[in-house]
Amino acid sequence: MKTAQAMSVTETKQEIRALVSRYKKEGKSIGFVPTMGYLHEGHLALAKQARKENDIVIMSIFVNPLQFGPNEDFDRYPRDAEGDRHKAEAAGVDVLFIPSVKEMYPRALSVQMTVTKGTDVLCGRKRPGHFDGVATVLSKLFHLVQPDRAYFGLKDAQQVAVVENLVRDLDFPIDIVPCPIVREPDGLAKSSRNVYLSEAERKEAPEIYKSLQLANKAVEQGERNPEKVISLVKAHLSAHLSGKIDYVELYSYPDLEPVHAIHGRCILAVAVQFEKARLIDNIIFAE
Residues in the chain: 287
Count of beta carbons in the 10 Å neighbourhood of residue 265: 13
Angle between helices 41-53 and 81-90 (to 10 degrees): 40
- 60 marked as part of a ligand binding site: no
What are the structural domain ranges in the chain?
Answer: 8-179, 192-280
Sheet holding 149-153, edge to edge: 8-10, 95-97, 56-61, 30-35, 149-153, 175-179
Cα–Cα distance, 171 to 167 (Å, whole number): 6
- Whether 101 shows a pLDDT value over 50: the answer reads yes
Q: What's the whole-number mean pLDDT along residues 133-137?
A: 95
For residues 155 and 191, the answer to whether their CB atoms sit within 8 Å is yes
pLDDT digits (tens, 9 = 90+) for 70-82: 767 777 777 889 9
For residues 279 and 271, the answer to whether their CB atoms sit within 8 Å is yes
pLDDT digits (tens, 9 = 90+) for 6-36: 899 999 999 999 999 999 999 999 999 999 9
Query: Superfamily for 8-179?
Result: HUPs (3.40.50.620)
- Whether 3 shows a pLDDT value over 50: the answer reads no
DSSP-derived 3-state class of residue 102: helix
Whether the predicted model's global pTM rises above the 0.75 cut? yes
The per-residue DSSP string of 139-201 comes to: HHHHHHH--SEEEEEGGGHHHHHHHHHHHHHTT-S-EEEEEPPPB-TTSPBP-GGGGGS-HHH
CATH 3.30.1300.10 is held by the domain 192-280: yes
For residues 78 and 145, the answer to whether their CB atoms sit within 8 Å is no
Cα–Cα distance, 253 to 124 (Å, whole number): 15
Confidence band for 130, pLDDT divided at 50, 70 and 90:
confident
Q: What's the whole-number mean pLDDT along residues 224-229?
A: 97
Return phi, psi of residue 176, to 5°.
-85, 125
pLDDT digits (tens, 9 = 90+) for 141-172: 999 999 999 999 999 999 999 999 999 999 99
- 38 marked as part of a ligand binding site: yes
Q: What's the whole-number mean pLDDT along residues 203-224?
A: 97
- Whether 1 shows a pLDDT value over 70: the answer reads no
Residue that wins the pLDDT comparison between 75 and 250: 250
- pLDDT on residue 124: 82
Count of beta carbons in the 10 Å neighbourhood of residue 47: 24
- 264 marked as part of a ligand binding site: no
- 67 marked as part of a ligand binding site: yes
Instruction: Let me know if 43 is a catalytic residue.
Output: yes
- 43 marked as part of a ligand binding site: yes
Instruction: Determine how β-strand 8-10 pairs with β-strand 95-97.
Output: parallel
Measured between alpha carbons, how far is residue 100 from residues 26, 79, 146, 213 in Å? 29, 13, 20, 42
